[in-house]
Amino acid sequence: MRSRTPVALVAALVLAAGGLAACGDDDEDTGASPPPPAAAQTETTGAAGGGGGETVEVAADPGGALAFQQDSLTAPAGSVTFEFTNQANIPHDFKVEKDGEDVGGTEVVTGDTAEATVELEAGEYTFYCSVGEHRQEGMEGELTVE
């Protein structure tokens, strides 16, 4: 007389149920800056060979506030391309400064994007908007190059 209890089947179900519970590590939140709202820009990794250099995205407040969406930026030393997005109806640009001297930046754009490639050495920089009083109104931040 053979036992036909489907032991294997029961075991499979138990395993499956157990597996479902095994997710959800608590990731540590880095806190600080709020995530840019739906800046869903897929990074266009220019498949064009060579070129090198990193791309850093930065955006002005799309709602028209005199602010960048980023308080601070980080970039690797070397050739860095800043992709600046200004969806607002107000002209802005993106400038990079070190020790009070401009080292590069984009043209002024309104409802558009602009790019600037800047050679950066490790150190602390400031980025800002050079239009009108925008910088004084808060359109500046820290750029750390490492």
| CB of residue 42 to Cu ion, shortest distance in Å | 26
Per CB under 5 A, the list member of 75, 92, 118, 141 interacting with Cu ion is: 92
What does the per-residue mask of binding to Cu ion show for 119-138, with x meaning CB under 5 A? ----------x-x--x----
Q: How far apart are the first and last CA of the chain?
A: 75
Q: How many CA atoms lie within 13 A of 51 on its CB side?
A: 10
Q: Would you say 59 or 129 has its CB closer to Cu ion?
A: 129
Q: Would you say 121 or 133 has its CB closer to Cu ion?
A: 133
Burial (Cβ within 10 Å: 0-12, 13-18, ≥19) of residue 85: buried
Alpha-carbon distance of 120 to 117, in angstroms, equals: 9
| CB of residue 68 to Cu ion, shortest distance in Å | 9
Q: Would you say 76 or 110 has its CB closer to Cu ion?
A: 110
- Nearest CA among 92, 104, 102, 89 for reference residue 129: 92
Where along the sequence are the contacts to Cu ion (CB under 5 A)? 92, 129, 131, 134, 139
